[in-house]
Structure 1
Amino acid sequence: MSQTSGFSAGRLTLLGGGNMGGAMLRGWIAAGLDPASVTVVDPSPNDALAELFEAGVHHRTAAPDEVQDVIVLAVKPQMLDEAASQLGAAVGADTLLISVAAGRTVASIEGLLGAHSVVRAMPNTPALIGRGITGAFANARVDESKRALADRLLSASGPVEWVPGEAEIDMVTAVSGSGPAYVFLLAEALAEAGVAAGLEPALAMRLARHTVAGAGELMIRSTDEPAQLRRNVTSPKGTTEAALKVLMADDGFGPLLTRAVAAAKTRAEELAQG
């Protein structure tokens, strides 16, 4: 596995070796983190991590007995209480805790593990291919050096956006955390619309998948705003303009997505309150 210039995170424990934890780990190693400095704690880690274990990443079914410099909490939210209870001696006064457990607040993590430096982060599933984006919030105990380290670790899976207030993590969750599902639904709906227009289903799906993926990549690479890219496709009195008149109607795509994001934000707030 190729590596770029290395960096150090001290002794790092990844609690949870599932899809998201595994994606983060692969990003760290690709970014040059020493595999031997990382311990994955998971009784049944993802099979895809076998290559990294062979490369030197340690695997344990229980937390290390010595204090860790960084612990990344990457278990499912409903499993966090039980998983955190086994950390014990691994958490020291200076340990940096990074949580990607959706809906679990800094206060709940402090309640489980005590008053520590805590970063609450919300990545999204494109992190699985190194194309994610993560929203992050740090509590007051996270100093500049710890924040820089957290940023380095989280950015291995894509850009990191730091928010000044924890409440904004719920907004991040509604936009980018849940956002990939909205895009996948767009691809589904576009393919179904193609079938309704007369295309063979498999062809309609191929057209939809590549159109959505290609448009996304164009947005990343272009310096133009999405609105300008939209205008670039839209010829006066052409086919795209005819379609956009439907999508941009008063009850069209924009207002619908606004209501969807609001619903997701409300649910994120409810989950954070327990």
Structure 2
Amino acid sequence: MTRKTIGFVGGGNMARSLIGGLLAAGTRSDVLIASDPDEDIRMSLASDFGIQTTADNADIVTESDVLILAVKPQVVEEALTPLSSLFATHRPLVISIAAGIPITSIEKWAKTKLAVIRVMPNTPALIGAGAAGLFANGLASPEQRATAESIIQSVGTSIWVNDEGLIDTVTAVSGSGPAYFFYLMDAMIEAATEGGLDSEAARTLVLETALGASRLALSSDESPAELRKRVTSPGGTTEAAVKTLTEDHCSESIIRAVHAARLRSIELAQSLGEQ
């Protein structure tokens, strides 16, 4: 995979995280190229990573075995349409990390059938701790699937889904998921300061507890529900807290929130796909 030329259309934060992850995983800088209309971004990419950059997206199509579509969803059509004539003769694997853009839209704007893999990453990929869902269309070969997986796993972990519609669920769970945990952390920090801790101490305790709980869950064969029961003693402090959460229907609220995110993802995909 590291010998393939990997091109990025768009040089924003997610592209930067992938470039950094690929280099850390042993990919040579001379097989990476990125395009961006912003000269400052191009200069930053070249300086920070030692990769080739260009202002012309056409260079990415003609020079890359793998094209990573890393622009904002609203400009995917604008990025792809001028390249449609090139896709007739140059057929890179397209990995799209543009949220909400279905494969049918990518094919429509590229004016040809291509091997396309949709990826829904999340922001912890910026520190190499991402969790992503992938879906491949029927034209993507096993080798191309392995290439995409290797690229995405350079910044975290990944899972495959066998239905493109499940990308909306992935979006709701892991794509938007960090915000749910930040929301909970913020509430716990507020409670800690109300209980007398200074803000720095509260932040440290809450964030380290969140990290420790996640690591414990990842290392255990037990479910989160079973782990919760293990630390909930009858008549104890944890039971009092969990009882309050249960009485306030916290679990149901979280489930409704995830479903709301999934439905919104579907709505956005429909509106973007109709552009």
TM-score with structure 2 length normalisation?
Answer: 0.89
CA distance in 2, matches of 1:50, 1:150: 23
List structure 1 runs of 4+ shifted beyond 4 angstroms: none
2:242 matched to 1:248? no
Q: Which among 95, 99, 104 is matched to residue 102 of structure 1?
A: 99
Q: What amino acid does structure 2 have at the position aligned with 1:260?
A: A
Show the counterpart of 1:29. Answer: 23
Once residues 176 and 86 of structure 2 are traced to their aligned partners in structure 1, the CA distance between those partners, rounded to angstroms, is: 32
SS in 1 for 2:130: coil
Structure 1 partner of 2:222: 224
Q: Is the contact between residue 9 and residue 149 of structure 1 (CA under 8 Å) also seen in structure 2?
A: no
Residue 159 of structure 1 aligns to a residue in which SS?
Answer: strand
1:118 & 1:66 partners in 2: Cα distance?
Answer: 17
1:136 equivalent in structure 2: 134
**Comparing 115-124 and 154-163, the one that deviates more:** 154-163
Contact 1:67–1:90 at 8 Å: present in 2 too?
A: no
Q: Say whether the 8 Å CA contact 2:21–2:155 is kept in structure 1.
A: yes
Deviation at 1:51, TM superposition (A): 4.7
What residue in structure 1 maps to residue 7 of structure 2?
Answer: 13
Match of 2:236 among 235, 238, 243: 238
Of the candidates 140, 150, 170, which is equivalent to residue 152 of structure 1? 150
CA distance in 1, matches of 2:131, 2:86: 29
Residue 62 of structure 2 aligns to a residue whose secondary structure is coil
Structure 1 position 53, deviation (Å): 3.5
Gap regions ≥5 residues in structure 1 = 1-6
Question: Do structure 1's residue 49 and structure 2's residue 45 form an aligned pair?
Answer: yes
Cα deviations across residues 136-163 of structure 1 (Å, max 9, x unaligned)?
1111111111111111111111121110
Q: Classify the secondary structure of the residue corresponding to 2:190.
A: helix
3-state secondary structure, aligned to 1:149: helix
Once the two structures are TM-superposed, the CA of residue 226 in structure 1 deviates from its matched residue by 1.5
Which residue does 1:258 correspond to in 2? 255
**Structure 2 unaligned runs (5+)?**
none
Equivalence for 2:67: 71
Q: What's the TM-score once normalised by structure 1's chain length? A: 0.90
Q: Indicate if the aligned counterparts of 1:68 and 1:90 stay in contact, CA closer than 8 A.
A: no
Shift of 1:195: 2.3
Q: CA deviation at 1:219?
A: 2.1
Is residue 177 of structure 2 the alignment partner of residue 183 of structure 1?
no
Aligned to 2:162: 164
Could you tell me which residue of structure 2 aligns to residue 196 of structure 1?
194
For residues 220-263 of structure 1, the C-alpha deviation after alignment (integer angstroms, 9 at most, x for no partner) is 233332122212322221101110111123x4221000110011
Please say if residues 18 and 46 of structure 1, whose CA atoms lie closer than 8 Å, have aligned partners that are also in contact: no
More helix by share: 2
Residues 188, 228 of structure 1: CA spacing in aligned structure 2 closer, same or farther, 3 A cutoff?
Answer: same
Cα distance change of structure 1 residues 170 and 9 upon mapping to structure 2, 3 Å threshold: farther
Query: What's the % identity of the aligned pairs?
Result: 42
Q: For residue 207 of structure 2, give the secondary structure of its aligned residue in structure 1.
A: helix
Secondary structure at 1:135 match in 2: strand
Provide closer, same or farther for how the CA distance between residues 23 and 47 of structure 1 changes in structure 2, counting only shifts above 3 A: farther
Q: Residues 180 and 50 of structure 1: is their aligned pair in 2 closer, same or farther, counting only changes over 3 Å?
A: same
Deviation at 1:69, TM superposition (A): 1.1
Work out which structure has the larger RCO, using CA pairs closer than 8 Å and 6 or more positions apart in sequence: 2
More displaced 10-residue stretch of structure 1: 71-80 or 219-228: 219-228
Deviation at residue 204 of structure 1 after TM alignment: 2.1
Number of matched residues? 265
Deviates more, 1:197-206 or 1:114-123: 197-206
Which secondary structure state, in structure 2, belongs to the residue aligned with residue 25 of structure 1?
A: helix
- Measured at CA, do residues 246 and 23 of structure 1 come closer, stay the same or move farther in structure 2, by a change above 3 Å? same
8 A Cα contact 1:174 1:264, kept in partner:
yes
